[in-house]
Structure formats: C-alpha cells, structure tokens
Amino acid sequence: MNTNNNVYTIVYTTIVVVIAAAILALAAMALKPRQQANIKAETISQMLTAAGFSGKEELAKLGNDQILALYSDNIKTAFLIDAEGNKTGELETALDDIELQDNLKVENKNIAAGNPSLPVYVFEKDGAEINVIPCYGAGLWGPIWGYIAFNADCSEIVGAYFDHESETPGLGAKIKDEAWFREQFKGKKVDFANPDNAFSIVKGGAPAGDATKVDAITGATMTCNGLDAALDTWFKAYMPYLQKKAGAAAETDGCCGDCCGDGCDEGCHHGEGECNHQHNHQEG
C-alpha cells in the first residue's frame, strides 16, 4: 500500500478520528452517572449548609453517599409550587431515589415567562421546620445562585448559602468564600408588603435596624447587584407561598390570646393574618 498518497492519508485520518470519538463517547457515558451524583451531592450540601446542618467545609469532606443520607434523614417533604404558591407535585426524598429541581437556569426563564415550577425543601432540625428555596441570576462573569432557609412560618431567614461559576477571586467570589456575608442573612426578613423589592443588598452599608437589608461586599458591586436582582426575582416568585405560610401560622397561633386576651370561643377568626376583632366572647 502506498502510504504517501492522499487517499491513504484521508482514510487513516478518518479512522483515527472515528476511534477517538468513540472512545470519548464511551468515556462520557461511563462517567455521566458519577458526574450526576457529584452534582446532586453538591446541590444538597448547599441546601444543608443554608439550613444550618453543617458547614460547607465539613460537608465537603463527606462522600456523596453520606451527604445524600444526611439529606434523606432530615428532609420532611419536598415539592413543587406554581406562580400562585399552590403545590403541583411531590419530589421524592427516599435515599435511593432523591429528586431535585436543580436546573435553576431553566426555572429562571420560566419565572420570567410566568409559568415556573418552583421547588420547596422542608427540613426538620431540632424539632423545628425549615423551608429552603433557591435563587439564580447573573453575576459579573457568569451565573450565580444560592439557597435561602426560612423558619417554619417563613417570617424570618435562618441561613443562606451562595455560589458562582466564575466571579472574580477576592471580590465577587466572596459571596461564596466569606462566611460574614452569609451570616448577615440570619434573622433578616422579606418584606411581604413590597414583593417587587422584598430584600436588598446595599452598597455602602445597610441602614441600622432594617430587617430587610444586608451590606454589599466592597469592590464587588456588579456581583452584589446581580445577587440582589436574583433575590428580587425569586422572592417575588415565591411570595405567594411565603405569604400563605405566614398567614397560616398567624391563624394557627390564634388572635384571641394576641389581641383580646382570654375568653374567646370558636367564633374567633382572622382576616389576612390579622385580628379583625369580630369575636364572640364568653360571658364573664
């Protein structure tokens, strides 16, 4: 065979390319389950960090199986909601079949289109319920995202965790790297009366005593602006659910003890979570 002619060169090159492509395709198929397992474990570790089960550094030392077991042991329920805050489906939480709604980029587009399918992860920690929801947006150089944990009635933030794809080290990357930034969110609230701007990250410092604002990171204006916009978008999308949780909790608490003292019978009721004073009082 003449190895110096063009036909030989073309045939040889084609065979090499086909073999290389086949090897890469087989390798990708073989590694895909492991890659998906790593992504699932990483997503869960971020939720667990936000919910306060452990620090991200400690979770990073665990294997995927341990992280999934920690999730399954502590998750109470996980489900999807629509734009009105109504439950539309369940997510499996059993250890061998954990389901996540983790394609946040797609849901970010669905929120803009008005037809989201938003995940809610409800954990139980130390006898208390913790609601975890995600957020997603654009930073300076790429996507940024995170998980926000609320208390049982969603009236207060109890934890947060944020991550990014390619923000500047030492600046925008601090949304992930700096614990002080995340710690600011604990004890804060969302403004139910202002869904379009329910929470703010403030450049130059949040006003003292303002429960709906935290300090931005110095030198990371664009990243913080992106995260602020992401929180606005996702908190607004979740607002019907958050408001329902808060309203249900207010009704469960009972207005009689809050505003009328003892002595109300079953006629005591509420309007929008507030006592409307339309009670039937017992004699004496």
**What's the CA gap between 201 and 223, in Å, rounded?**
11
Q: What dihedral do alpha carbons 210, 211, 217, 223 form, nearest 10°? A: -120
Q: Give the 3-state secondary structure of residue 215.
A: strand
Q: Give the Å distances, CA to CA, from 242 to 83, 132, 251.
A: 12, 11, 14
Lookup: tokens for 10:
């073309």
What pLDDT shows up at residue 33?
A: 61
Question: Token pair for residue 92?
Answer: 């499996």
Q: Which long-range contacts (CB under 8 A, 24 or more apart) does 126-134 make?
A: 128/152, 129/76, 130/51, 130/52, 130/158, 130/159, 131/245, 132/47, 132/50, 132/51, 133/234, 133/238, 134/104, 134/107, 134/234
pLDDT at 149 over 60: yes
Token output for 238 = 């979740």
pLDDT in tens, 38-66: 999 999 999 999 999 999 999 989 999 99
Mean pLDDT of the chain: 87
pTM for this entry: 0.79
